[in-house]
Chain A
C-alpha cells in the first residue's frame, strides 16, 4: 500500500491545545465548582474570630489573628486546589472515554499529546482562577484586619509611652504578618503543588480503569510526598545503607519520580511571618515545572499507544 507523504495539520498545536484547555475550563466551571468559593469566604471571615486572649504587650496584640487568617486561608486553598486538581483530572479523561466524546476528538486531526496538554492546562486554569479569587478574598480580609491591628497596637503602645522608633519597629513586624509579596509567593507555591498533583493524576488516569482508583492513588502519593524525604533520610543514615551506592541511586530515582512536598513547607514559614526568598520561589517553580513536564511526558507515552 502506497501511503502519501505527510501533510501538515490544519491549525497550530498551540491553537488546538488552547481550544481543549478553554473547553475543559468551561466544562468544569459549568459543573459549578466555583460554588466552593462561598465556603472559602466563610472560612476567611470565620478565621477573624480565632484571636486568642494572651496579649503580653502591644506587639502581640492581634498577631495571632493575622496568623490565623493566613493559616486558615492557605490551608483551605491547599485543600481546595489539591482536591480540585486530583478529582477534576481523574474525572475528565475516563468521562471522555466512557461517553465516546474522545473518539470524536481523536478522529479529528488532533495529536494525542495536544489533547493531554489541553486537558491538563484546562484544569490548571481552573485551579489558577480559583486560587486567584481566594487570594483576592484573603488579601482583602487580611488588609482590613492588619489596618485594625496596627491602629490598636499604636494606640496601646502610645498609651504605654513607647518611643516612635519602637512603634515603627513593631509596625514593620506586624506588616510582615499582613498581605505582602511573600504571601503572594506562598499562594503561587500552593498553585505549583496543585499543578504537580494534577499532572500526576493525569498520568495515573491514562492507565487506570476508574476515577476512584486514580483519586485514591493520587492522594496516597500526595501524602507519601510529605514523608518521602524523611523516609529517605532515615534509610540513608540508618546503619550501612547510607554507604551503599545502590541505596543512593535508588533514593535518587525515588525523588525523581515521587515529588518531595516538604519543599513546600515554606508556606508554613510565610504563615509565621517569615519572608519567602525569590530564590526559593524560583527553585519551587523549577521543581513544579520538572514534575509537571515529567508526568505529562510519561502520560503521553502511555496514552499514545492506548486503544479505545
Chain B
C-alpha cells in the first residue's frame, strides 16, 4: 500500500524579499521545515514579522520560495492542483461586501467546480455549522467582525478540503466570537480535517493544537508535540485513578526514602504555552 503523504510538507523553506531601500534582500523565512500528518492540528506561533504568514503564503503558492519546497498532500504548492484539497482563511479578510453570506459561499463553491443541489446543500450545511443561517441573506457589509471570520471559515471549507489553513483566525474578534471559532476548529479536528493555524493567542493554540512550532526571525526555533514541549523535563507525573490515601502515603514515603527524589506536589505538573514561548524567544535573543 502506498504511504500516505503528509498533509503539509515544507522543506528548508527560504524566502527573501527585495526591498526598494536596501540592496540586501530581507530574509523573511530562513530554512523552515514543517511536516504535518493528516488529521493533526498544528499551530505556528511567533511574534509579528517572524515569517508565519509568509510561510503560509508559500504553502499556498501566493509567494514563490527563494529556496526549498512546499507541498500539500504530496503536490507541489506552486501547481494549481495542490489547491484542490485546501481551504484558506487569511488574516483580517474582507470578502465582497455586496454579496450576502449565502452568495459568498455559492461564489467560492462554484470556483471549486461545485454546482446544483450539491452546492445548495453544502451552503446550507456550512451556514448551519458556523451558526449564520439567520444571516444567510444579509450582505457582508452588515456583518460583525466575528461573523466575517465565521463566513471566512465556511468559505475555506466549501469544497470539503482535507487541509484548512487559518492565519490568525481570531484576530480582532471579541472573546465570544473567538470561542466560537475555537469550537469550530475543534469540530474540524473531530472530523479528521488537518488544520494548520497561526495565532497570537497562545492559550487558544494550546487548547486546540496537538503540534506546535515556534518561529522567530524567520527561523523555526522549537517544534514538536505540544504535550512534549510543555512537559517539565526533570519531573515525572503519575496519574492514578481511585487511589486511596494510604496508597498516596506509601508512595510519598517511598519517594522520601529514595535519595535525590522528592515529591513536589500532587496533581498535573504543567507550564503554559505562553511561558514556553516567551522563554524560547528570550533565549534566542541572548
- Interfacial residues, chain A to chain B (CB-CB below 8 A): 1-4, 6-12, 15-16, 19-20, 23, 26-27, 30-31, 99-101, 103-111, 305, 307-308
Contact = CB atoms under 8 A, between A and B. Distances in A.
B60 A106 contact: yes
Contacts of A2: 5, 74
Given A99-B94, A108-B83, A308-B57, A3 B74 contact: yes
Given A1-B71, A104-B108, A308-B63, A109 B80 contact: yes
A307 B28 CA distance: 14
Interface stretch (B109-117, B183-191, B248-256): B109-117
A9 B69 contact: no
Given A2-B5, A16-B110, A103-B90, 18 more contacts: A1-B9, A3-B79, A4-B73, A7-B81, A7-B84, A10-B112, A27-B98, A103-B60, A103-B93, A104-B90, A104-B155, A105-B111, A108-B83, A109-B84, A109-B111, A110-B80, A307-B64, A308-B63
Nearest to A5: B75
B87 A9 contact: no
Interface of B: 5, 9, 11, 57, 60-64, 69, 71, 73-76, 79-81, 83-84, 86-96, 98-99, 107-108, 110-115, 152, 155-156, 159, 165
A148 to B, nearest CB: 43
B133 to A, nearest CB: 21
7 contacts: A1-B69, A3-B71, A10-B114, A16-B110, A103-B57, A110-B80, A308-B57
Given A2-B74, A10-B84, A106-B62, A101 B94 contact: yes
Nearest to B64: A307
The interface centre, meaning the residue of B81, B110, B111, B115 with most chain A CB atoms within 10 A of its CB, is: B111
Contacts of B79: 3, 6
Nearest to B78: A3
Given A100-B92, A107-B62, A8 B111 contact: no
B81 A104 contact: no
A254 B9 CA distance: 48
Given A104-B108, A108-B83, A10 B113 contact: yes
B107 A19 contact: yes
A308 B57 CA distance: 8
B113 A11 contact: yes
Contact of B110 (A15, A30, A99, A103): A15
B196 to A, nearest CB: 12
Given A101-B93, A101-B96, A6 B63 contact: no
B96 A100 contact: no
B98 A109 contact: no
Nearest to A6: B81
A181 to B, nearest CB: 38
The 3 closest A-B pairs by CB, nearest first: A11-B113, A10-B113, A107-B88
B88 A103 contact: yes
Nearest to A103: B90
B69 A11 contact: no
Given A11-B112, A30-B98, A101-B94, A107 B87 contact: yes
Given A99-B94, A100-B92, A107 B60 contact: yes
B153 to A, nearest CB: 11
Nearest to A307: B63
A308 B62 contact: yes
A108 B98 contact: no
Nearest to B86: A107
The interface centre, meaning the residue of A15, A305, A307 with most chain B CB atoms within 10 A of its CB, is: A307
A308 B53 CA distance: 11
A103 B95 CA distance: 10
Nearest to A99: B94
A9 B80 CA distance: 8
B75 A9 contact: no
B62 to A, nearest CB: 5
Contacts of B86: 107
A10 to B, nearest CB: 3
A49 to B, nearest CB: 39
Contacts of B75: 3-4, 6-7
B94 A110 contact: no
B72 to A, nearest CB: 10
A105 B95 CA distance: 10
A10 B62 contact: no
Contacts of B99: 26
Given A10-B113, A23-B107, A104-B155, A4 B74 contact: yes
